[in-house]
Structure 1
């Protein structure tokens, strides 16, 4: 039995290249808008946005890393930069002092409030403008299926940590 996998058919290849191109074009413009409006990188924006939506404005660092699919060490650096700007605070976790909890500050909420109008405008102009409401619902459905499939077997950096047994 051969280990060769069949080539992608033209529709599969086209869908893949379209997804990559759309993602790159959108991310480029979003990153530019975030830098201009709030001096934020895309990852920093994701962190602030997730914290802004979280109960009490806080999350454990490992949960943030899993949510944004970013390395834990890279996320630690990004959180440090945000902390130096006064946009978040970091503290030992309540239940586990080995964990770190990140909390958005009022200044962090102010930066989010400053970047969101332009962020939404970019999304509407680039991603949503050519779509009908039914198209948006279908895009959400299809991308949700793919996301859920990929999350079921995430890359190592995005996989939730397993607790070490004390054997």
Structure 2
């Protein structure tokens, strides 16, 4: 057995730090655009976008929380803010009254329509402009494998809740 601390090789460390920095810089630009165009936080945009992509415009709260990798309590708060703004509605899920379903409203779809053009412009200018088509394909393949590896674990909503004081 060795006493050496685990480490990353220089290429792994560089890739990790590049990913973190790119993610932070891009998220900052995206969040600024979302605030200006639609008065939305990044998480609120993710929720509306996921609902807008759902065939019925509806998803269960736990599925949304897993999809956007956000805590259940945080998602409940954000859904409440969006509901107060008239962008979503919440109701018991038709297939399980213990679950809550969130549905995008026409006003929510209108907000998405306002923010998407600027959102796409930010992504093109800040992210994709530095990449070739081959780079985009390679990045998509590599990040897709990492995402699938990370998502192979049970979803966060399936994890037992930690009790306070425990």
Please, what TM-score do these two structures have when normalized by structure 1?
0.91
Q: CA RMSD in A?
A: 1.5
Question: What is the CA distance between 1:3 and its match in structure 2?
Answer: 6.2
Structure 2: how far apart are the matches of 1:51 and 1:3?
49
Structure 2: how far apart are the matches of 1:4 and 1:68?
36
User: 3-state SS of the aligned residue for 2:8?
Assistant: coil
User: Could you say which residue in structure 2 is the equivalent of 1:38?
Assistant: 38
Q: Is the 8 A contact 2:61 2:101 kept in 1?
A: yes
User: Could you say which residue in structure 1 is the equivalent of 2:118?
Assistant: 118
Structure 1: how far apart are the matches of 2:26 and 2:4?
34
User: Could you say which residue in structure 2 is the equivalent of 1:109?
Assistant: 109
User: 3-state SS of the aligned residue for 1:12?
Assistant: helix
Structure 1: how far apart are the matches of 2:3 and 2:157?
31
User: Could you say which residue in structure 2 is the equivalent of 1:55?
Assistant: 55
User: 3-state SS of the aligned residue for 1:100?
Assistant: strand
Q: Is the 8 A contact 2:72 2:157 kept in 1?
A: no
Structure 2: how far apart are the matches of 1:139 and 1:50?
22
- 1:147–1:3 distance in 2 versus 1, CA, 3 Å: farther
Matches within 5 A, 1:68-107: 68-107=68-107
Question: What is the CA distance between 1:55 and its match in structure 2?
Answer: 1.4
Alignment gaps of 5+ in structure 1: none
Matches within 5 A, 1:137-156: 137-153=137-153
Structure 1: how far apart are the matches of 2:88 and 2:61?
12
Select which of 155, 158, 161 maps to 2:158: 161
Count how many residue pairs are aligned between Structure 1 and Structure 2.
Answer: 160
Structure 1: how far apart are the matches of 2:76 and 2:107?
19
User: Could you say which residue in structure 2 is the equivalent of 1:7?
Assistant: 7
Alignment gaps of 5+ in structure 2: 161-166
User: Could you say which residue in structure 1 is the equivalent of 2:164?
Assistant: none
Please, what TM-score do these two structures have when normalized by structure 2?
0.92
* Range 4-13 or range 33-42, more displaced: 4-13
The ranges of structure 1 where at least 4 consecutive aligned residues each deviate by more than 4 angstroms after the TM superposition are: none
